[in-house]
């Protein structure tokens, strides 16, 4: 059965917990002010009527009544302005409150989601929603919805007035407008109309995505590919989009022209109908006045009707935006435990852990970790190695609860990590990623990460992470602004900032995921010396590709295709002569080959190394 969704405005207020009563008051004020904007049409008619009747009857004009209607006109205008200001103020306040509450809910909820949410594609959608959608929702709630209600009420009131005045004339006005709107709907209605609209939307989205990719991939395309081929692909999409626009315009333009002409010339329809009525009822003074009234009030119907149609589309828009908000809020929050700290040390245990990124029902499901059991004693320097895609990063991320395991358990100090509060877990773990995010803030803030730490502590951590020197050479030293619009760091420099963060955080467990991937040989050596002292006594899980960098590890775990293949020390694993020994030999051969080739080049005197 098709699910019927509640009105989008109700959904906003239901989700955002903002007073619907206050909003209703604001909308009522706005609606009343719009309704009052119709009053002068009636009062002016009454004034003209007084003058016309006096001149037809040859009597003096009833100036008292004229003044009364004039005062009513002025009063309705002043009251309308007052109500409009009050309504607008209340509706804006409600919209800001509602959106503030929605933003806070989303932020709060995002804080409860597993960290894996941020490594997926959804974070981009959330960014878009927080920036673009919220702004547009404010507009719809503060302006469009009150205007829509006001336009509806005004339309109903004018309808009642016109029908009570003269039914054939009222029917003429509404029939003309109905025909105009039916013509307009015909442009988008029907299978072919909807197809044209859907094709245009699809090709525009496709074009946007292609443009972004074209710009983002320009470097690679120029170096490895053929930029002219990429430009041709883009040109084809531009042509396609142009074709859809032409099809759309061919359909819409004549229809829109007819719609506009009919709505604007509603007066002509009233005039024709009025003349016909007067032809059959010559000398009917009341009828003359009714025709006059219809001529004055008729055009007043057009603008609220147009607003109803246009704002209706905006409301559909609000519904789509609310769907996106609800989509994020629907992501289940990660259940947290109640343990505030680890009492039993920092031994890490993987107990028969299985995990997949795909659902159980997915036919392409592949286990990222498959029945993995590992024990890393407290204070141990452990390494995770193995072929690419073996599950090393996944294992590190599961330990920090980026996701929860599907089977088995991960423990710290014998305690399931799911029993800890997230804060308690994060107090035990530091994570240094291969790709480091640098905030658009000062170097100091990027290392301190908004924690109350002294300048000395930050500098000490930077010294240990071998980044103090390059920081001092920056224009404003530790106050230099980094990130977007600021000083750009190299990959290696950014990674050393991340290591400084971890050193400063000083947690008993440190996970290093290819943390030295961007570090050159000289810096890696210096970094190791600096870190050795700081990692002393800590439980370290190092994920590495370069085996020579972990040969001193107390324990090495070798993962392949999500399975733990072997474990031991470097010499034990070499002796076992299995996967690790094989990988070690390949890396050695590669290095010797590199040394040989650079040697040959040097001998030939043509080396650029
Ligand atoms: N966010 C993700 N969504 C879906 N699949 C993923 C995700 N991250 C990793 N995978 C898949 O899970 C498997 C294990 O990946 P993982 O990154 O843990 O391996 P790895 O050993 O760290 O690889 P590498 O050495 O190349 O970094 C791979 O098949 C990978 O394609």
ipTM: 0.97
Q: Check pocket membership of 393 for ligand 1, CB cut-off 6 A.
A: yes
Q: How far apart are the CA of 392 and the centre of ligand 1, in A?
A: 8
Is the confidence at residue 598, as pLDDT, over 70?
no
Superfamily of 8-330 according to CATH: ABC transporter type 1, transmembrane domain (1.20.1560.10)
Smallest CA-to-CA distance from 275 within 296, 300, 292 is with 292
> 417 exposed, middle or buried (CB, 10 Å; 0-12, 13-18, 19+)?
buried
Confidence at residue 391, expressed as pLDDT on a 0 to 100 scale = 92
Ligand 1 atom 14 nearest Cα: 391
Q: Which residue has the higher pLDDT, 126 or 393?
A: 393
Q: How far apart are the CA of 409 and the centre of ligand 1, in A?
A: 20
Q: Check pocket membership of 357 for ligand 1, CB cut-off 6 A.
A: yes
- Are 5 and 319 in contact by the 8 Å Cβ rule? The answer is yes
Q: Check pocket membership of 390 for ligand 1, CB cut-off 6 A.
A: yes
Q: Which residue has the higher pLDDT, 520 or 609?
A: 520
Is the confidence at residue 563, as pLDDT, over 80?
yes
Q: Which residue has the higher pLDDT, 135 or 274?
A: 274
Q: Check pocket membership of 389 for ligand 1, CB cut-off 6 A.
A: yes
Q: What is the atom index within ligand 1 of the atom nearest the CA of 386? A: 21
Lowest mean pLDDT among 81-85, 279-283, 475-479, 596-600: 596-600
Confidence at residue 467, expressed as pLDDT on a 0 to 100 scale = 84
pLDDT, tens only, 218-265: 766 766 767 777 788 889 999 999 999 999 888 888 888 888 888 778
Question: What is the average pLDDT across 261-285?
Answer: 85
Confidence at residue 78, expressed as pLDDT on a 0 to 100 scale = 95
- Are 509 and 430 in contact by the 8 Å Cβ rule? The answer is yes
Give φ, ψ of 191 to 5 degrees.
-65, -45
Q: Which residue has the higher pLDDT, 40 or 226?
A: 40
- Say how far apart CA 582 and CA 387 lie, in whole Å: 11
Lowest mean pLDDT among 133-142, 183-192, 548-557: 183-192
Confidence at residue 1, expressed as pLDDT on a 0 to 100 scale = 45
Q: How far apart are the CA of 224 and the centre of ligand 1, in A?
A: 25
Confidence at residue 316, expressed as pLDDT on a 0 to 100 scale = 65
**Contacts by residues 267-275 (CB-CB < 8 Å, ≥ 24 positions apart):** 267/295, 267/298, 267/299, 269/172, 269/173, 269/175, 269/176, 270/169, 270/172, 270/173, 270/294, 270/295, 270/298, 271/295, 272/172, 273/168, 273/169, 273/172, 274/169
Q: Which residue has the higher pLDDT, 93 or 483?
A: 93
The pair of structure tokens assigned to 70 is 């004039």
Q: How far apart are the CA of 380 and the centre of ligand 1, in A?
A: 25
Percentage helix, strand, coil for the chain under 3-state DSSP, each rounded to 5:
65, 10, 25
Smallest CA-to-CA distance from 467 within 439, 437, 502 is with 502
Q: How far apart are the CA of 368 and the centre of ligand 1, in A?
A: 7
Q: Which residue has the higher pLDDT, 359 or 216?
A: 359
Ligand 1 atom 12 nearest Cα: 368
Q: Return the CA Rg of the chain.
A: 36
Question: What is the average pLDDT across 171-199?
Answer: 79
Q: Which of 118, 394, 431 to mutate to test the pocket of ligand 1 (most atoms within 8 A of CB)?
A: 394
Is the confidence at residue 121, as pLDDT, over 60?
no
Provide the pLDDT confidence category of residue 131 given band limits of 50, 70 and 90.
Answer: low
Lowest mean pLDDT among 107-116, 369-378, 523-532: 523-532
Provide the pLDDT confidence category of residue 606 given band limits of 50, 70 and 90.
Answer: very low
Confidence at residue 489, expressed as pLDDT on a 0 to 100 scale = 80
- Say how far apart CA 22 and CA 41 lie, in whole Å: 31
Confidence at residue 591, expressed as pLDDT on a 0 to 100 scale = 64
- Are 11 and 323 in contact by the 8 Å Cβ rule? The answer is no
Confidence at residue 603, expressed as pLDDT on a 0 to 100 scale = 42
Q: What is the atom index within ligand 1 of the atom nearest the CA of 390? A: 21
Is the confidence at residue 539, as pLDDT, over 80?
yes
Q: Check pocket membership of 396 for ligand 1, CB cut-off 6 A.
A: no
Q: Which residue has the higher pLDDT, 300 or 506?
A: 506
Give φ, ψ of 308 to 5 degrees.
-55, -45
Q: Check pocket membership of 394 for ligand 1, CB cut-off 6 A.
A: yes
Confidence at residue 436, expressed as pLDDT on a 0 to 100 scale = 78
Is the confidence at residue 531, as pLDDT, over 70?
no
Question: What is the average pLDDT across 439-450?
Answer: 86
Q: Which of 390, 402, 434, 545 to mutate to test the pocket of ligand 1 (most atoms within 8 A of CB)?
A: 390
Ligand 1 atom 3 nearest Cα: 357
Taken in order 303, 305, 308, 310, is the CA torsion positive or negative?
Answer: negative
Question: What is the average pLDDT across 161-185?
Answer: 84
Confidence at residue 126, expressed as pLDDT on a 0 to 100 scale = 65
Question: What is the average pLDDT across 578-588?
Answer: 88
Mean pLDDT of the chain: 82
Q: How far apart are the CA of 120 and the centre of ligand 1, in A?
A: 12
Lowest mean pLDDT among 22-26, 121-125, 192-196: 121-125
3-class DSSP string for 165-223 = HCHHHHHHHHHHHHHHHHHHHHHHCHHHHHHHHHHHHHHHHHHHHHHHHHHHCHHHHHH
- Say how far apart CA 337 and CA 330 lie, in whole Å: 21
Provide the pLDDT confidence category of residue 604 given band limits of 50, 70 and 90.
Answer: very low
Give φ, ψ of 370 to 5 degrees.
-130, 105
Q: How far apart are the CA of 265 and the centre of ligand 1, in A?
A: 66
Provide the pLDDT confidence category of residue 210 given band limits of 50, 70 and 90.
Answer: confident
If one looks up domain 348-379+401-539 in CATH, what number appears? Answer: 3.40.50.300
Ligand 1 atom 11 nearest Cα: 368
Q: How far apart are the CA of 157 and the centre of ligand 1, in A?
A: 64
Q: How far apart are the CA of 384 and the centre of ligand 1, in A?
A: 14
Smallest CA-to-CA distance from 567 within 553, 555, 579 is with 555
- Residues with Cβ within 8 Å of residue 294, at least 6 apart in sequence: 162, 165, 166, 169, 170, 172, 173, 270, 274
- Cα separations (Å) of 286 from 165, 171, 364? 10, 18, 80
Is the confidence at residue 2, as pLDDT, over 50?
no
Confidence at residue 355, expressed as pLDDT on a 0 to 100 scale = 94
Q: What is the atom index within ligand 1 of the atom nearest the CA of 394? A: 18
Q: How far apart are the CA of 225 and the centre of ligand 1, in A?
A: 27
Kindly report the pTM of this predicted structure.
0.65
Question: What is the average pLDDT across 78-87?
Answer: 94
Smallest CA-to-CA distance from 101 within 24, 7, 10, 17 is with 17
The strands making up 539-543's β-sheet, listed across from edge to edge, are: 429-432, 509-513, 539-543, 381-385, 555-560, 563-568
Percent of the chain with pLDDT over 70: 85
Confidence at residue 118, expressed as pLDDT on a 0 to 100 scale = 66
Is the confidence at residue 116, as pLDDT, over 70?
no
Question: What is the average pLDDT across 2-28?
Answer: 74
Is the confidence at residue 62, as pLDDT, over 50?
yes
- Are 196 and 245 in contact by the 8 Å Cβ rule? The answer is no
- Cα separations (Å) of 476 from 32, 66, 292, 471, 472? 59, 76, 77, 9, 8
Smallest CA-to-CA distance from 431 within 340, 541, 312 is with 541
Q: Which residue has the higher pLDDT, 598 or 288?
A: 288
């Amino acid at each position: 059965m098709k699910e019927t969704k509640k009105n989008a405005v109700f959904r906003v207020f239901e989700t955002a917990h903002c007073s619907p009563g206050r909003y209703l008051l604001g909308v009522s004020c706005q609606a009343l002010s719009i309704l009052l904007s119709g009053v002068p049409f009636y009062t002016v008619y009454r004034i003209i009527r007084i003058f016309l009747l006096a001149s037809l009857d040859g009597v003096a004009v009833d100036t008292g009544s004229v003044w009364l209607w004039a005062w009513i006109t002025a009063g309705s205008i002043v009251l309308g302005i007052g109500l409009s200001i009050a309504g607008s103020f209340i509706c804006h306040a409600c919209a800001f409150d509602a959106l503030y509450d929605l933003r806070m809910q989303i932020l709060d909820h995002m804080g409860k989601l597993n960290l894996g949410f941020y490594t997926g594609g959804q974070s981009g959608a959330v960014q878009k929603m927080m920036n673009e959608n919220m702004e547009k929702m404010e507009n719809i709630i503060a302006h469009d919805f009150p205007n829509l209600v006001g336009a509806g009420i005004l339309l109903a009131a004018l309808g009642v007035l016109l029908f009570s005045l003269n039914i054939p004339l009222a029917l003429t006005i509404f029939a003309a407008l109905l025909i105009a709107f039916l013509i307009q709907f015909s442009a988008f209605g029907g299978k072919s109309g909807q197809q044209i609209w859907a094709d245009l939307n699809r090709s525009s989205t496709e074009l946007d995505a292609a443009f972004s990719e074209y710009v983002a991939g320009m470097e690679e395309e120029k170096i490895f590919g053929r930029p002219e081929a990429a430009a041709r692909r883009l040109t084809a999409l531009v042509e396609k989009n142009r074709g859809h626009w032409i099809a759309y315009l061919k359909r819409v333009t004549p229809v829109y022209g007819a719609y506009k002409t009919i709505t604007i010339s509603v007066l002509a329809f009233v005039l024709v109908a009025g003349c016909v009525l007067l032809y059959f009822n010559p000398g009917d003074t009341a009828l003359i006045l009714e025709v006059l009234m219809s001529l004055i009030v008729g055009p007043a119907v057009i603008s609220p009707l147009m607003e109803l149609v246009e704002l209706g589309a905006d409301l559909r828009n609000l519904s789509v935006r609310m769907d996106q908000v609800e989509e994020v809020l629907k992501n289940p929050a990660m259940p947290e435990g109640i343990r505030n700290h680890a009492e039993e040390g920092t031994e890490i245990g993987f107990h028969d852990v299985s995990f997949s990124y795909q659902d159980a029902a997915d036919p392409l499901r592949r286990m990222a970790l498959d029945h993995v059991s590992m024990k890393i004693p407290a204070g141990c320097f452990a390494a995770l190695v193995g072929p690419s895609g073996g599950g090393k990063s996944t294992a590190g991320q599961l330990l920090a609860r980026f996701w929860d395991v599907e089977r088995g358990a991960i423990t710290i100090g014998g305690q399931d990590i799911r029993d800890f509060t997230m804060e308690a877990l994060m107090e035990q773990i530091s994570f240094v990623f291969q790709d480091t995010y640098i905030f658009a803030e000062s170097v100091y803030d990027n290392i301190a990460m908004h924690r109350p730490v002294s300048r000395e502590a930050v500098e000490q951590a930077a010294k240990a992470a071998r980044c103090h020197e390059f920081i001092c050479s920056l224009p404003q030293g530790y106050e230099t602004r980094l990130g977007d619009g600021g000083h750009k760091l190299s990959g290696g420099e950014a990674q050393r900032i991340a290591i400084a963060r971890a050193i400063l955080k000083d947690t008993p467990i440190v996970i290093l995921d290819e943390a030295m991937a961007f570090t050159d040989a000289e810096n890696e050596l210096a970094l190791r010396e600096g870190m050795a002292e700081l990692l002393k006594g800590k439980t370290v899980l190092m994920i590495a590709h370069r085996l020579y960098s972990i040969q001193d590890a107390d324990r090495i775990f070798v993962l392949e295709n999500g399975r733990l293949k072997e474990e031991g020390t470097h010499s034990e694993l070499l002796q076992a002569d299995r996967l690790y020994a094989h990988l070690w030999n390949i890396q050695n051969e590669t290095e010797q080959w590199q040394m040989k080739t650079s040697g040959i080049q040097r001998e030939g005197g043509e080396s650029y190394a």
